[in-house]
Structure 1
């Protein structure tokens, strides 16, 4: 299958108007993480209206609901609503509620995997590895189009394990080029940078996969070639930082971070409107 990258990127961008408020119902919420209140999975948010819109959507940041503005489903919501369930919402078809919510959780993971694989295809220079990445991209896209029973039977973790091998290989290639093999010690890789001042640290080509960068100071830092897959960037300050060529960065991570008009982002990401000027 030949992929139209722009088309897939569009499909991975959230379109709430085509969804049934799935993220506002299917997910567990914690008030401590910037949501309206503690909420059990499967229970509608107190702000979800009958037409699946949010009653406080235009005022989320002012109400301190940072968890809501940061969340991104990679377009899984509209895929489940319009493709898997053919436009039939859970309120009009209550018998489908449990399956729809479970499907949303699986679809979100598959769409996230597609997001990373698209980046890996564009980055990978080795033809054999690139072919393998494209093959996995094909496989993942096919999984998202399965009927509901088949989708719920997908072993996402097993699929993710295969994907991660190629993502790590791509990461190593990009990071090696970014820092020319200097100042790298994978065995001493640090994961906890909570509140750390990193302005004087060389993070070009850094392996920051899964790192805790909550409230870290990265103002003006050059993160070219740095791998940020799975890194927790909540309230990390990237004002004036260069993230243009950082890899495996998502919109949700950027939404949770701080930045300004001088922050340089990858072209596939959108600058949050609430960042400082």
Structure 2
């Protein structure tokens, strides 16, 4: 099976290619330097040249705060780029995986969002990602829309790396404690995506490591597992203002994954421990 992966320079795209190679798939990873997804002609030409059986679309404009000021750039990548790739996938009858986000929801309430809940994004990033979802659904039949949250991997920056860096110079940290979600390890997520592409169980899915936590609880667990002595003070969203609004409730139900027979991802605590081991190997 030949698989084209966009966003290979990011955390998820990097691991999808790496894990796919280990599984014996013919992986073609591409970044923005090799493929400008905002150019329709270039996308069409590139996809027709590679002729993949599957496109895993990980590339995205993910600078959530910056997106509020550069709305056109965000729209161009997340909506138009997705449209061009979906159109190219249809031309060659390729399966398509679109990586979406918890940010398509408004974050109200405490209950985990299901795939049947109606999205209501509260910021430009979420708006453009949801528009990307709608584009995929309007163009393709052989698609998987996979909403993920709080992603971390080896390739690139993430919350864990930031916390570990801060712990080198700080004994106390203020971390938001009223936003809840599920951290997601890109290696675990990659295994699920590679399982999906071998099926025809198309549709919208939520995928993250099992369990929920706040950012404050996540940071405390990072320090505990990494043996760092840092006191975490839980603060409110209002005490840490950002350019873009964040959903307070990013809990997502993964029951549909289970019902479809896909493997559940391990707990986020288990994922964190394995990730820290990998990080240590990278340093040494």
- TM-score band by shorter chain is under 0.3
TM-score (norm 2): 0.25
The one of the two structures with greater contact order (alpha-carbon pairs below 8 A, sep at least 6) is 2
Higher strand proportion:
2
Q: Which has the larger radius of gyration?
A: 1
